[in-house]
Amino acid sequence: MNLSDVLYNLVGFTVVAIIFLIILAVTLKFLSKKFSMDKIKLYGIFLNMNNNTILSFSIISINYLFLVWCLINFQMNYIYLIFSLILIILSDIFAKNYKKIILNVISVFIECASIYIIAILKDYIFSEGFNTLLFIVLVLVVIFIFLYFTYTMFRSLNCIVKLQKDLSIPKKKVK
């Protein structure tokens, strides 16, 4: 895969991400009209967060969307791996979550390797002749990896919220 193909695919991801955000905004707008804003406090998670933490929160969400896009397209190469690594490292730096950088980098390697293995399995299924059993295995592995991506995203977001909560609570002085 050459650089122009990678850039073309990244533009495709950007278009998909923008469409997803528009659908999300329209859905939230309809929900806010249906329910009063006193009942739904979607912005409540961002209260008492500084700009760096909100940026870290957003970067993790972008990385999640990117990995799901790679999973759906069955594409993974070293440029996508580097892009995902940069996003995760930046999110940890912005959140001042230095202790978890190594764990998150290992997690990104596992996630990208799983997408690569799924792409190899898909290519094998469609090049060697369609096998129903292997196709079922492929579908189940894709579902498992999607759930793993979702788990790691929520784990990272929870860690950021906890870290921000710990930083915002004033420490008592001991006499």
Q: Among candidates 123, 33, 112, which has minimal Cα distance to 76?
A: 112
Q: What is the dihedral of CA 157, 163, 165, 171, to 10 degrees?
A: 180
Length of the chain measured in residues: 175
Supply the pLDDT for residue 86.
Answer: 92
Single-letter residue type at 12: G
Residue entry with tokens 């009063």: 36
pTM of the full predicted structure?
Answer: 0.75
Residues 6+ apart with CB under 8 A from 95: 52, 53, 56, 57, 159, 160, 163, 164
Q: What is the pLDDT of residues 78-126, one digit of tens each?
A: 888 888 899 999 998 988 888 888 998 999 999 989 999 999 988 888 8
pLDDT at 171 over 60: no
Distance CA 35, CA 38 (A): 8
